[in-house]
Structure 1
Amino acid sequence: MKIIIITQEDSFVVPKNIEKILRLENVELLKVIDIDSDYSLVNKKSYFIKGFGLLQTIKMGLQVVSAKVLNTVDTLTSHKLAISPKSLKAVSDRYNIKFERIKNPNAAAFLEEMKTLQPDLIVSYSAPVVFKEALLKIPKHGCINLHCSFLPYYAGVMPSFWTLYKKEKTTGATVHYMDTKIDNGAILNQKEIEISENETMFSLIVKSKEIGGNLMCETIRQIQNSTLNIQENYAEKGSYFTWPTVEQFQDFTKNGGRLI
């Protein structure tokens, strides 16, 4: 099965999830695509500073800087550190996978490239752009996405923030087919996740993405074996959230919530 991954930059979990896919039998990873759009979390620094304050944002930034340092040292030592790659570029370089950073996966030039590559499946790890019909039709087995909530609940943007903000006891990870609406396609796999008492936004993101990465691999195996258990995604019975306001971030921190 030929797979293309479309996602956004992540220094902590998505590179590990890519490695998990590489360990699957009869899988060829053609390319990793990094969507560098205005809606990518890495481009929301000022937004987080305003919402969470300078100290929390610096603590988060230090985690990212530490990951970049480890990547550099690992490269200079020819991967002798035996650490997991800490960026999309790093994991692509290590396994000799083609890597590209783009703004819009619906652009005509990108669509032509995808048609040439002829992927069987496109895998999205929370890609920050809605896929249009022309892109969705290219892979033989469609496009599937990992969303870090228990759909149809908490569809949309930043589910880890919203579940903590609403003081939920559980959340989830869901792999679903993609269509032209956000988090709307049929559900292929999902798992409920407990939220601990001391959970931070960062710890919940890491936890749900790691569990979601395992679900994604399981889903790919089921596609290969024609054993998918497709379930209806009753979006109208669930809930949808957009970007929090700065005031909602501030309210979250005033009530004991933490970014990291």
Structure 2
Amino acid sequence: MKTILVTSDLTYAPQNYSNVLEFVISNSRQQIAGVVLIKINLLNIFGKVLFLYFSGCRNIAKTLTLNLFSTLLREKKKLFKKNNIPFIEVKSINNEKAILWLKQVSPDLIVNMRARCIYRDSVLRIPRLGCINVHHGILPPQRGLFCDLYALAENKETGFTIHRMTSQIDIGQIFYQVRIENEKDYIKYLSKVSSREGMAISTSINKIMANGFLLESALEKCGNSIVTTTPDFKTIKQLQHKGIIL
């Protein structure tokens, strides 16, 4: 089975998410046919780091700075080359260059891993079995960006969900969910997630390969949901007031 991984060259996750990628590659190597690396505008990151620092988000600012250096040192690209995995760098999964490359590879499965992209139908139709996403929240109630952060602040259940991708945000068949213990320090929480995420992704890929199709779980697929977005300065202060360490 040919699987394509889609991820960003720079993330907010500890170790720039490279540890999760390395685990998935090591445990599902025969299934990985290539990687689409979404390029982030690195000049914008400097402004984000300053904003985070002066907003009191010292831990996130430090992590993002370390990840910026990791990106500049091409750590992810070195990982792919070390494992002889073809990869392509694009600004969007939906651009012509990415679509042409994907069609040439003709994958069975696409796995979206910390790449903030809304896939168009032209991409969703390419893989034989479909596209799945690792959503960092508990679906269906938690949708959008940083939903795990808001859930932590409200003492709600936290974790991640692997689901089928559609043209709508965070809607689709749910295949796999993992609950993570609540943690008020957001970077520590993300480290807990990383330690479980690689195994969940590899398990999902290997199960799909063994079955030859996407297995739908019996988990709830509908219900009331809240769509969250990147917190602004005011929201950051509200989160910190609730005890979240950023």
Does the CA-based 8 Å contact 2:50-2:61 persist in structure 1?
A: no
The match for 2:230 is 243
Letter of the 1:49 partner, please give it.
Y
1:52 aligns with 2:56: yes
Deviation at 1:20, TM superposition (A): 2.7
Partner Cα distance (1:93, 1:109) in 2: 20
Q: Against the structure 1 CA distance between its residues 26 and 94, is the aligned structure 2 distance closer, same or farther, given a 3 Å change threshold?
A: closer
- Map 1:173-212 to 2 at 5 A: 173-196=160-183, 199-212=184-197
Partner Cα distance (1:160, 1:13) in 2: 18
The match for 1:159 is 147
Residues 163-192 of structure 1 show CA distances to partners (whole Å, capped at 9, x for unaligned) of 122233x31121111001111111011122
1:109 aligns with 2:97: yes
The match for 2:4 is 4
Q: Against the structure 1 CA distance between its residues 31 and 254, is the aligned structure 2 distance closer, same or farther, given a 3 Å change threshold?
A: same
Residues 25-68 of structure 1 show CA distances to partners (whole Å, capped at 9, x for unaligned) of 67242222222346xx9574344235335x44553356437x73
Q: Against the structure 1 CA distance between its residues 33 and 232, is the aligned structure 2 distance closer, same or farther, given a 3 Å change threshold?
A: same
Residue ranges of structure 2 left out of the alignment (5+ in a row): none
Residue ranges of structure 1 left out of the alignment (5+ in a row): 73-85
Which residue of 222, 225, 236 corresponds with 2:210? 225
Q: Against the structure 1 CA distance between its residues 32 and 160, is the aligned structure 2 distance closer, same or farther, given a 3 Å change threshold?
A: same
The match for 2:70 is 68
Partner Cα distance (1:131, 1:192) in 2: 26
The match for 2:80 is 92
The match for 1:79 is none
Partner Cα distance (1:231, 1:103) in 2: 36
- Flag as ranges the 4+ runs of structure 1 deviating above 4 A: 55-58
Q: Against the structure 1 CA distance between its residues 203 and 87, is the aligned structure 2 distance closer, same or farther, given a 3 Å change threshold?
A: farther
SS at match of 2:56: helix
Partner Cα distance (2:130, 2:113) in 1: 14
Question: Under a length normalisation based on structure 1, what TM-score does the superposition of the two structures give?
Answer: 0.79
SS at match of 1:190: strand
Letter of the 1:174 partner, please give it.
T
Give % identity: 23
Which residue of 36, 40, 43 corresponds with 1:33? 36
Provide the alpha-carbon RMSD of the alignment. Answer: 3.0
Q: Against the structure 1 CA distance between its residues 21 and 211, is the aligned structure 2 distance closer, same or farther, given a 3 Å change threshold?
A: same
The match for 1:145 is 133
Question: Under a length normalisation based on structure 2, what TM-score does the superposition of the two structures give?
Answer: 0.83
Partner Cα distance (1:6, 1:210) in 2: 19
Query: Structure 1 stretch 245-254 or stretch 220-229: which is displaced more?
Result: 220-229
Q: Against the structure 1 CA distance between its residues 214 and 57, is the aligned structure 2 distance closer, same or farther, given a 3 Å change threshold?
A: closer
The match for 1:216 is 201
